[in-house]
Amino acid sequence: MYTIVKCEGCTRIFAVSREQTYIICPTCGCSFRRDACTSYLDCEYRTVAVEIAARLDELIRDRSIPVTPEEMGRLRRDYQEFDQKYAEKRSVKEAEVEAEVEAEAETEAEDLETDKKDAYGLFE
């Protein structure tokens, strides 16, 4: 699980693992507690978290006003879409990997049968 946080020092927005208690900002080196800083959303996948953090950062960079509820709503919708697409892509990939593993297992089973036959052949 990943979460998108805002640096207490330089206001840069980036993604961190939810397991981290202390965060060090990759931009300014400021360190702060994850549970005490401004955080936006939780993401299951790192790729998604990094993408959303970059978009959010771009949105608020170089302006003094905070993110509006409309912008946040749009970002959340984008996030859900992106997260869903990514999850689908991932499950397709996992299914492919599973199919490969199964095919390999079948080949191994066949090889084993052949080996057995060969071995029995020795004693016939």
Binding site for Zn ion (CB under 5 A): 7, 9-10, 12, 25, 27-28, 30
Q: Which residues contact 55 (CB under 8 A, 6 or more apart)?
A: 75, 78
Indicate the residue among 33 and 90 with the shorter CB distance to Zn ion.
33
Q: Which residues contact 83 (CB under 8 A, 6 or more apart)?
A: 43, 44, 45, 48
Shortest CB 49 distance to Zn ion, Å: 17
Tokens of 122: 């020795």
Shortest CB 91 distance to Zn ion, Å: 35
Indicate the residue among 9 and 66 with the shorter CB distance to Zn ion.
9
Indicate the residue among 23 and 83 with the shorter CB distance to Zn ion.
23
Say how far apart CA 25 and CA 16 lie, in whole Å. 10
Shortest CB 24 distance to Zn ion, Å: 9
